[in-house]
Amino acid sequence: MLISMSVKDSPVWFPVFVTEFVVIFIINGITITAFARIRHLRQRSMYLIIKLTVADLLVGAVTGPLLMYDNDMESNGTTWSGFIIMAIKNIFPVASQVNLSLISLERLHATLFPFRHCLISKWLYFIIIVGSWLLILIIAFVMPSLPRDASPYAWASFGAVTLLVLTVCYTIIIVNVQRSPH
């Protein structure tokens, strides 16, 4: 998620973006509160959804304000502080996309191998979550270090891969469920 126009140049869009980020924060905060208060929602099958909710909450709380504050992309990558700000801007949107892909892969596994899926331990989910955060950090810090000409292609490729994973997983799930006699 990138704001392409400067908010400083267009005061009409400022309240729209602020409202968007506040709504993202509030809705995900309510969802996290529901997960915290309702015990039966904290199952292994919900761990990745909880992780997605946290990542989306941080998009509204961290990425949004950073995009509003520091929207000048050309001056960001020249210093270490600019590089760090660009990487922090990337972390949580990348986390949302990676989490959506992981959720679709987990649902695919649950559909194709339901008995094996029931036997997955909490440790495997923990390893997947920690591994995905490491992958997210690597992606978020590599993207700003790419040359300016290659960066849009890298973002488009990343988006295409996550969209492909989602599409293939849910297509296989739909076909499998429709063919199943149960």
Q: Where are the domains of the chain?
A: 13-179
For the 13-179 domain, the top CATH level (class) is mainly alpha
Give the pLDDT of residue 1. Answer: 46
Alpha helices in the chain (DSSP H): 13-37, 47-58, 64-69, 80-112, 114-118, 122-142, 151-179
Distance CA 138, CA 160 (A): 18
Give the pLDDT of residue 180. Answer: 82
Give the pLDDT of residue 148. Answer: 82
Distance CA 29, CA 8 (A): 28
Distance CA 109, CA 168 (A): 13
Mean pLDDT in runs of 10 for the chain (182 residues)?
A: 54 86 96 94 90 95 86 60 85 95 96 93 94 95 87 93 97 94 72
The predicted model scores a pTM of 0.85
